[in-house]
Structure 1
Amino acid sequence: MNHPSSSSPSSTTLTESNPQNQTLTLIPGLPYDLSALILAFLPYPYHQKLKSICKSWKHFFSSRFLHSIRHKHIPNSRLSHLLCIFPQDPSVSSPYIFDPKNLAWCNLPLMPCNPHVYGLCNFASVAHNSHLYVLGGSLFDTRSFPLDRPSPSRSSYRYDFVDQKWVCLPPMLSPRGSFACVAIPNTDRIVVAGGGSRHTMFGAAGSRMSSVEMYDIGRNEWVALDGLPRFRAGCVGFMAGNGEGHDEFWVMGGYGESRTILGVFPVDEYYRDAAVMRFDSDGVGKWHAVGDMWEEGERRQLGRIAVVEDVNGGYPEIFMLDKNDIFRYNMTSNRWFNETTLPKRVLDESAVGFVALNGELHVMASHNGAGSVENRRLRRHKRSTSLYLQIYHPGKRTWRTLITTPPFQQPLDFKTTVMCTIRF
């Protein structure tokens, strides 16, 4: 079918950029370029279902042309901010994408499976452009001894949302799980720091490490950087910038050495400080320490962290969920200040998810899980796997709630669930 010509600049650009599709029909009665622009604005979680409408839609929603349209016509601030959820080992349980604005879900393909390893947990997931990375973790290896002890992993995988497939990347220089990980904005670099062989089944067992390395996406290689000032595992990492090209990699919390109670039971020694490394046009700087962020007895360890990005490229806002309270971090005073309290208390604060999406803080709990919300009406849905979200807007200081039903049957265990966000 031949389409009527159009004199609009956007129409000409779209058609010329994808000439092989000039004879396809996406929406009857509309030019291809206009139809493509309309379909490109549909939320990502619906794309898989939309492919079954017809062959032309299947071709369009599987093409790079779709992503080029979104990249050109949708500013970064308006891109869909989606949540990637890994309920379990991604090689045996599908990861999922959640769109909080449209309450839409979709699943991703399984990650490539290694027949010798199983039970992957404590890995890191991070997004960069239209790619999703899964790095390291703790797992069991049938080739190692003893079989009942976890081993750290060096594996690196990348999922391409355009090609819709997983690719195995060069392994990290050092195997690690429970580590800090972040993608450096406006660069093709990912940094990992600290970690060890920690596994959810074994309290304070496992090793600790201080090594730091960086993945150069363009060169497809890992490069060693200066190590942390001391061993640090179970830590969290984030980037902070000042809008002038000076970015800082922060590594907070975590644990180092462990002590024993009665000489038998191992207990982690949690850190109250942070370490910072600067990245700028001159290269990578040295680590410098940031002192204790709270007094002795104020809290045992760092809570769950969520980072609200500054759309202007400045320093982000750092929030911590500590039991039923949310605290805001002040970099100047190096202290946490109470921001707000959850409207609905949770029974088990360790079984609650905490993440920043679209400038808002999302506190997530399963209706019937250990972190269920104290609400009698919700208790009637005992068999439900729905998620109850309490959402806080730091700028407006307002709360709202929503309920969504994930496509999987088992409730999420946020003690082991791995999450990250991606703008798509």
Structure 2
Amino acid sequence: MNHPSPSSSSSPTPIQSQTLTLIPGLPYDLSALILAFIPYSYHGRLKSISKSWKHFFSSRFIHSIRHKHVPISKIPQLLCIFPQDPSVSSPYLFDPQNRAWCNLPLMPCNPHVYGLCNFATVSVNSHLYVIGGSLFDTRSFPLDRPSPSSSVFRYDFATGSWDSLPQMLSQRGSFACVTDNERILVAGGGSRHAMFGAAGSRLNSVEMYDIGRNEWVGLDGLPRFRAGCVGFMVGNEFWVMGGYGESRTILGVFPVDEYYRDAAVMRVGDGGGGKWKAVGDMWEEGERRQLGRIAVVEGVDGGGPEIFMLDKNDIFRYDMSSNCWWKETSLPKRALDESTVGFMALNGELHVMASHNGAGSVENRRLRRHKKLTSLYLQIYHPGKKIWRTLITKPPFQQPLDFKTTVMCTIRL
């Protein structure tokens, strides 16, 4: 079969000009279409097949082919995991459908700062953003106290490279962050670090990053200081929920956070954000100490998103009309320590993740022969079908994930 001529309607791209052979015996267009549907988690290994495959899997062309034939909403989500500071420990992608892992390059390293945590990550198309966080700065005093960061980095999956973007207007860690694919909104936060309790500052400032204009714009501040909060979009409304404000001390010595039971909502339009409106307490005094881990399941067929909370070993669904959390289900296998459990929404399902310590199965006995190996145990719940399933996977890193500090987000590639 002959290759299409350069003058045909499917004229070669710069990638084609280097070589018109991807799969021997097949035209370039058909070969490219076949390769474009191979999951991203295998691309790294496939680049070593040939020089033409390396160029193809390293180009933007593969993303344009895939998105041309499959709507972005139909492309399966991958899980981005940041076990530690991404400038010293590689981030990873996990493909749950194929149980495949791949690592990403390290983020650019600043020799003056270290120990980045409490940063936020969001994805927009084929880009991954790492925003803010708390860290230690050798240029600040005292050295053992964390400093907030305003840095923003973006990873381009098409080129496999990191870029430094304009910094936020305010330095912040432990903040609410969300994107609508045109803008990134951040709210609240402070300088709290994972190694310290109630230490650090609190903010109420809010700002928006315009992706097209590549600039940050300040918005109306939150009604009160709020750090450790979560954010999500419901239509054109930016919700900021939970978190903590001022701290109190026990016996005048031990600092304790005062956690919020309410939320705040801002309507976001084309020209920016509006005013905040308060949403009252979502539970009664004594019902729970603080907001649990939150996961947002995307709406189906134009429907609104569904908000879920993992509270100890139970999952609750948020009802906006009543401003209450209603119990949805309980974990089939209870977590020994709920603080070390991860909670994410992925492809319409809720994933509860923990380091696997089960016993009895052939796979577990095989894993125990290699003491350095660890595994990840996932309990997966489908809210629509109301059924559970489990998945066990072997991550490529040695140490178990600490979900108290691990940062995660999803991406479609």
TM-score (norm 2): 0.95
Partner of 2:199: 205
1:233 corresponds in structure 2 to: 227
Q: Deviations over 1:166-206 (max 9, x none)?
A: 00011111100000000124xx2100000000101101100
The CA deviation at 1:17 is 5.9
2:11 is paired with a residue of what secondary structure? Answer: helix
Residue 367 of structure 1 deviates from its aligned partner by 1.6
Counterpart AA for 2:175: F
- Which consecutive unaligned segments of at least 5 residues does structure 1 have? 7-11, 242-246
Measure how far apart 1:216 and its partner are.
1.0
Displacement of 1:16 = 2.4
User: Cα distance, 1:217 vs. partner?
Assistant: 1.2
Give runs of aligned pairs for residues 145-184 of structure 1, distance below 5 A: 145-184=141-180
Which residue of 62, 78, 100 maps to 2:74? Answer: 78
The answer on 1:338 being equivalent to 2:332 is: no
Matched residues in 2 for 1:314 and 1:237: separation? 19
Letter in 2 for 1:18: T
2:348 maps to 1:359: yes
Partner of 2:259: 270
The answer for unaligned runs of 5 or more in structure 2 is: none
2:33 matches 1:67: no
CA contact (8 A) 2:135 2:149 kept: yes
Partner of 1:248: 237
RMSD between aligned residues: 1.6
Paired residue secondary structure (1:16): coil
**Is the CA contact (8 Å cut-off) linking 2:4 and 2:11 kept in structure 1?**
no
> Are the counterparts in 2 of residues 272 and 301 from structure 1 also a CA contact under 8 Å?
yes
Aligned residues with identical type, % of pairs: 79
User: 2:284 pairs with 295, 301, 307, which one?
Assistant: 295
Name the CA distance, whole Å, in 2 between partners of 1:19 and 1:418: 37
Residues 138 and 282 from structure 1, CA distance in 2 versus in 1: closer, same or farther, beyond 3 angstroms?
Answer: closer
- What residue number does 1:314 align with? 303
TM-score in terms of structure 1 length: 0.92
Shift in CA distance, 376/258, structure 1 to aligned 2, threshold 3 Å: farther
Match of 2:397 in 1: 408
In structure 2, what is the Cα distance between the partners aligned to 1:156 and 1:19? Answer: 31
Answer yes or no: is the 8 Å Cα contact 1:253–1:301 preserved in 2: yes
Structure 1 CA distance for aligned equivalents of residues 71 and 144 of structure 2: 50
- Alignment partners' CA distance in 2, 1:70 and 1:162: 12
Alpha-carbon shift at residue 20 of structure 1 (Å): 5.2
Q: Return 15-24 or 287-296, whichever deviates more.
A: 15-24
Q: Which of 184, 192, 196 is the aligned partner of 1:190?
A: 184
- Mark the CA change 1:220 to 1:327 in structure 2 (over 3 Å): closer, same or farther: same
Give the distance between the partners of 1:279 and 1:150, measured in 2 at CA.
32
8 A contact 1:105–1:406 mirrored in 2? yes
